[in-house]
Structures are given as structure tokens and as C-alpha cells.
Structure 1
Amino acid sequence: MLSVDALVGFIAVIETGSFTAAAERIGQTPSGVSRTISRLEKQLGTALITRTTRRLDLTEEGKWLLLRAREILTELQRTEEQLRTRLAQPTGLVRVNAATPVLDYLVAPLMTEFLDRYPLVRLELISGETVIDLIEERADIAIRIGPLADSTLNARRLGTSRLSLLASPTYLKRHGIPREVADLREHRLLGFTAPTSLNTWPLAQNDIDGLPVEPVIGTSSGGTLLHLAVAGAGVVCLADFMTRSEIAAGRLLPILETVTLPWSQPVWAVFYKQGALAPRVSALVEFLVERLTGKLLDD
């Protein structure tokens, strides 16, 4: 395969008219330039330059190669310029993976503003209720809630969101309002199928922080739990970021507030970083940090 350095040396010799002048242009010795041209001719199996004591002339093959070499170097220069422009302005596709409520309540409401700021970026927002392998799923960023177990990931903390116990007015009217932790034994509790740690609620029991509950209805989706609670199916424990609007509208009411422990879940943007982070990915991570930290979430 022809090397770029050989083509640069070849063009320099022809344009300057001598090996000495070509060497000065490209920062080599005249003998080094001569060896480069000789190796190039040997590699191609043909003479490119006819050398005399007074001048250098191109053979027909040399004339053809000169045209192609200039085209190749021009294209390489154009490619480099385009890449520098691309790196200077975030461009391309960013794939984001998160649980459906995170996409619905945290990410999606901000994406119009993000695309207005970075119009050359495209987004794929992919919902998933379980922890994924970013490489296998071809995700650039994942938004995760809770402690991070994977030490191979890089992460930026976006903030925290407090957990609250909630039920709908309809449910509480039918089943009564629990006044103390023990009253929950008489209520329908809604929770997650996995991980089971999500079914430890922020309540103290026998001087131990955290009350494990056994859900009457279990689901993998926090969004489904929210809909079940609003529909009056039972008592739920969810993060404030996804329940604020329902509480404000009166569709859900906080319960056991005086005995609820002040537990908050950290929210992270996680990603693999090998070398410099791609500008399109870095732009979204920094945007989420800017817009979510201390604003949409409870720090």
C-alpha cells in the first residue's frame, strides 16, 4: 500500500524541481528523499522520474501518479477539515437507554431544548426496565437510579430524588388512611418484580431502617406502578420526580409522611469512556448535568 509520506515526498520533488529543495520543504535530508522515491518506484515496479544532471522529468506513469497523488492528498486534507469541524460541533446519533419513567419525566421534556442547542445531533431514546450492557445494546448513555454496581462505567451524578409513599384518594376512601407503619399490613401494596431491593420502603421497623414489603401486584416498570396507584390499586413507593404532577393534581396523596425516612435515590448518567468522549455524547451528558442537577431533582 502506498504511504502518504511517499506521495508527499514525490509531489515535493516534482513541484520544487530537486531533491534538495524537496528535502527542505518536508524537513528531510536529500538522501532520505531520494530513498523514498526509489522505494516508491520499486514498490510500483516502474520508473516515475527520469533523472539527469540538469533536470528531473516525469515518465508517463509519473505524470499519472502525480495527478492521483494530488487528488488523494486533497481528499485527505478535506477529510481532516471535515473531522475537525465535526469534533468542534457535536454531530451524529446518540443512543440513550433508561427506564420508561426516566425517559418520560426527566429526559424527554428537555430534548427540544437540547436539539435547539445542538441541531446536528440525532437521538434515539430507548426504554428498558432492566440494567443493560451498554456495548451490547449499542447505547451511548444510560440513565440509572440507585447505587452503581458496574465499576467499568464512568458516571456523572445528575442529582437525587426522594422516595415517598403514596395512594390515590379513591383507594384511601375505600381502605382508610394508614396512620402508622403497622397499618400497612391491612393494605394492598404495589411493588417491583426486580430487583427486590426496590421493595424495601423508607420506613423504620424495630429500630431497623427500611421495611421490606411483599407486593400484591408486582411489575418491572415504575410507570406501570404509577398508573396502578392512580387507578386506586394500592399503596406505592416511588421517586418524587415521577409523582410530582400527580400529587399536584390531587390524583395521589402522600401518606405516613411523619414516619417516612428521608431516603433519596441518586440519579446517574453512565457511559463507557475509552479515550476522549465523543463530542455528541459529551454534549448530552453536560446538558443533562446542567439542566437536572438541583432543578428537576431534589439535591
Structure 2
Amino acid sequence: MSTSDEMSAFVRVVDLGSFARAAEDLRVTPSALSKIVSRLEDRLGVRLLTRTTRRLALTSEGALYLERAREVLDLIERADADISSFRGKPKGLLRINSSTGFARQTLLHAIPAFLARFPETAVDLTLTDRLIDAVAEQADIVIRGSPSAGSDLVVRKLAEGRRLVCAAPSYLQRCGIPRSASDLQRHNCLALSGQSPPTTWPLASDDGVVAFPPKGTFACDNVGMLFDMAVAGHGIVRLADFVVGKAVADGQLVEILADINRSDSISLWALVPKGRFRSQRVQVFLDFMEEWLNGGSSRDAEPGDRTG
């Protein structure tokens, strides 16, 4: 029996909590499975499991081995899927990390369409607004609004857009529509916090472009939360059209100050570990998202889904 088979047997015992259930799942006898784990412990020279009549418990060495075994088995699965995928349709698990706002307003619609087109794939999506270490956290693709990357990452631009100033119709009916930067001082502006330097909104005025500091009763470091607060009618936001575009198109939000909002073009990037960039499922997802974001044929898979 290979080392990977021993690892798989050990992990299954831990996951199912008993030799009997794991043996049934692996289609071997409980005594045979017990011998496999015992041989593994003998080879390693440590006890991995504490066995009692009622339960199994990991030793400290067993907990460490379990973590490493999962990593090794995951790499083997990825390698097999990557190589086999070149013989036909893409298949296997795709681990994606995205900011919350983009995921909730765009990936929410794009991922089901992707899975419908490539039914042998699966997606594990994690959401964080901080920039993660893609290699350390074993992500296949990280989607962000910043192209910054280390030497171990490949960077690909998915789309270009701009930032919109917008608010819900209910807020504008209640508080009025601001026409200038000075008008905004009387409004509740929902600010993105935790930025260095602090976020400002570039707005044209009689004195040129001013860096307006948004102030109000609520600030948050989570774009998705700011979006939800704006849609609920609690204030004005300035967010990327990748996030608010669909809500504007659907009438949940109204773009304002379009004539004075000075938004340079912004880009959306995919950051991919070099070792995974050539994976077929990674490539087809990147191609799909580029099509989706730029109004291509991918959107035809889900009529009515638009990011704006």
C-alpha cells in the first residue's frame, strides 16, 4: 500500500470518527483498516490516535499529521485533475477568493452560469476584503481591484470600469439630490474605512478637482456592507460599477453627481499562483469572467443577469 493510500485511510477514519464506518466507506474490514493505521504509526514511530471503546481521539502528533496529510492529498487531487482535464472538459474544484461586494453583486450571478456551462467543475468561494496570500491559503484565483502581486503570482486583467456615486431612491426622496461637493457636506456619506491613506472622493468644483472626505454616521471596511446600507436607504456611497452597476440598472440605486464625479478608469484583476495558472479549469474560468464582465456571450447563459 502506498503512503498516499495510508494517508487516505487515516484521514477517513478521523473524518468518520470510527474504524467501522470508515471501513464500510472504503470497502475493507475494520480489522484490515486498523492494521493499515497501525502500520502507518509504526512507520512514523508515533501514536496518531488514542483508541477507546467509545471514541477515537487525535494525539498532538496525529493532529499535525492530519493537517499535513490533507494538504498532500489535496495536491495529489489537484495534480490528477489538472492533467486529466487536458484530455477533455475542465473538471475539478476551483478555489476562488473575492472581495465581498464583487462576489455578492457579480459572482452571485456569474458562478451559477459558469457551473452550468462546465458541469464537471465545482467552486469553493471565500470572501475577504483584505488581500490574502494566495499561495499560503491555497487559492487558485484571487479577484481584486489591485494588480499588486508577488513574484510567485501571475496577474491578469479581467475588466475596466469606474466608480459611481449613488444612493437609493428612498434616500434621495427623503434627503434631496446633492448637486455639488458642498451639497454633499449636508448628506450622510457612507465611507470605506481602514484605508491608508483615508478614502476621498474626487469631485469637480469651481476651484478644480477637490478631494472630498466622505463623512456621515456610518463607516465600514466591508464593501458589501456599504452596498447593503446604501440600498436600504441609509446614505450615499461611491463604489466600483463592478459592485453597484447591476443595482443601478435595476433601479435599486440611482447614480448621482455624474457630471462632477472624476473617476479614473479602474481595473479588476485576477491573481493566480504560477503553479496553477496553466490549469485548464483556471483558464476557462478567467476567460468566462472576462467575457461576463465585458458583456460577452457568457451572460447569455443567464438572461437578465447584468453587472452594469
TM over 0.5, shorter chain: yes
Which residue number corresponds to residue 52 of structure 1? Answer: none
CA-CA distance at 1:198 after TM superposition: 7.2
Which residue number corresponds to residue 218 of structure 1? Answer: 219
Query: What residue identity is the alignment partner of 1:94?
Result: L
Which residue number corresponds to residue 252 of structure 1? Answer: 253
Task: Give 3-state SS (helix, strand or coil) of 2:122's partner.
Answer: strand
CA-CA distance at 1:107 after TM superposition: 2.2
Provide the C-alpha distance between the structure 2 equivalents of 1:81 and 1:106, rounded to a whole number of angstroms: 30
Contact 2:95 2:140 in 1 (8 A): yes
Query: What residue identity is the alignment partner of 1:175?
Result: C
Amino-acid identity (%): 32
Which residue number corresponds to residue 283 of structure 2? Answer: 282
Which residue number corresponds to residue 148 of structure 1? Answer: 147
Deviation readout 1:232-271 (Å, 9 max, x if unpaired): 2111111223323433343322222211114332011111
How does 1:1-299 map onto structure 2 within 5 Å? 85-89=84-88, 90-145=90-145, 147-152=146-151, 153-196=153-196, 199-204=199-204, 206-208=207-209, 210-274=211-275, 277-295=278-296
Task: Give 3-state SS (helix, strand or coil) of 1:202's partner.
Answer: strand
TM-score (norm: length of structure 2): 0.62
Aligned residue pairs, count: 218
Task: Give 3-state SS (helix, strand or coil) of 1:199's partner.
Answer: coil
CA-CA distance at 1:122 after TM superposition: 1.7
CA change 1:113–1:203 in 2 (3 A) is same
Deviation readout 1:40-99 (Å, 9 max, x if unpaired): xxxxxxxxxxxxxxxxxxxxxxxxxxxxxxxxxxxxxxxx99985443232221100001
CA change 1:179–1:110 in 2 (3 A) is closer
CA change 1:276–1:200 in 2 (3 A) is closer
Provide the C-alpha distance between the structure 1 equivalents of 2:233 and 2:307, rounded to a whole number of angstroms: 26
Q: Which stretch shifts more, 225-234 or 192-201? A: 192-201
Unaligned runs of 5+ in 1: 1-79
Query: What residue identity is the alignment partner of 2:141?
Result: I
Contact 2:190 2:226 in 1 (8 A): yes
User: Higher Cα Rg: structure 1 or 2?
Assistant: 1
Contact 1:166 1:253 in 2 (8 A): yes
CA-CA distance at 1:131 after TM superposition: 0.9
Deviation readout 1:179-205 (Å, 9 max, x if unpaired): 211111111110112224572223136
Unaligned runs of 5+ in 2: 1-78, 297-305
TM-score (norm: length of structure 1): 0.64
Q: Which stretch shifts more, 182-191 or 196-205? A: 196-205
Provide the C-alpha distance between the structure 1 equivalents of 2:252 and 2:81, rounded to a whole number of angstroms: 53
